[in-house]
Amino acid sequence: MITATPQHLRVLNGSFVVEHAEDEANSLAGPWISLVRAPEGLTVVREWRAGDTVEDGDVWVALYSGDTAHGLDVPGMLALLLSPLAEGGVPVFVASTYNADLILVPRDRVRDAADVLRARGHRIDL
C-alpha cells in the first residue's frame, strides 16, 4: 500500500477538452493549459468553448494538486490519487508538471471523483 500525505486539490475554472493536434501551429497559439509532445504527435488540453463539437463525455474538469506541491523524489504522490479513482471507476487523463499534477475527470463524474478522494483523506475544493 502506498503511504503519503493526503493532498489538497482544487478544481480549476472552466471545462477542458483533450485533442490530438492536427494543426500544430494553431494549437500552440491557442488557449491551452497543457501540451505534451510524444512520438505520435502533440496532445493538447485546452479550454472547452461553447460550440465545440465534442461528445459530453469528452468534456473534462481539471483537479489541480498544486496546493500540495512536492519534490520529484517523493514516491507515490500521483498513485495516491489515481488508485482510488480507478477503484471508483472514474476515468482520468493526467498531465504532470514540475510542481504538480493536473488530473482531468469527465465533467459528469467530478462529484464521484471528489467523493472517492475525500474518502481516502484528500481535501477537494469544488
pTM (two decimals): 0.86
pLDDT recorded at residue 2: 52
pLDDT digits (tens, 9 = 90+) for 5-47: 789 999 999 999 998 887 778 778 778 899 988 888 899 999 9
Q: What angle do helix axes 110-119 and 77-87 make, rounded to 10 degrees?
A: 120
Tens of pLDDT, residue by residue over 71-126, are 677 767 888 999 999 999 999 999 988 888 999 999 999 999 999 999 999 999 98
Residue 124 grid coordinates: 477537494
Q: 42 burial class (0-12, 13-18, 19+ CB within 10 angstroms)?
A: middle
Q: Look at residue 1 and tell me whether its pLDDT is greater than 60.
A: no
pLDDT at 55: 65
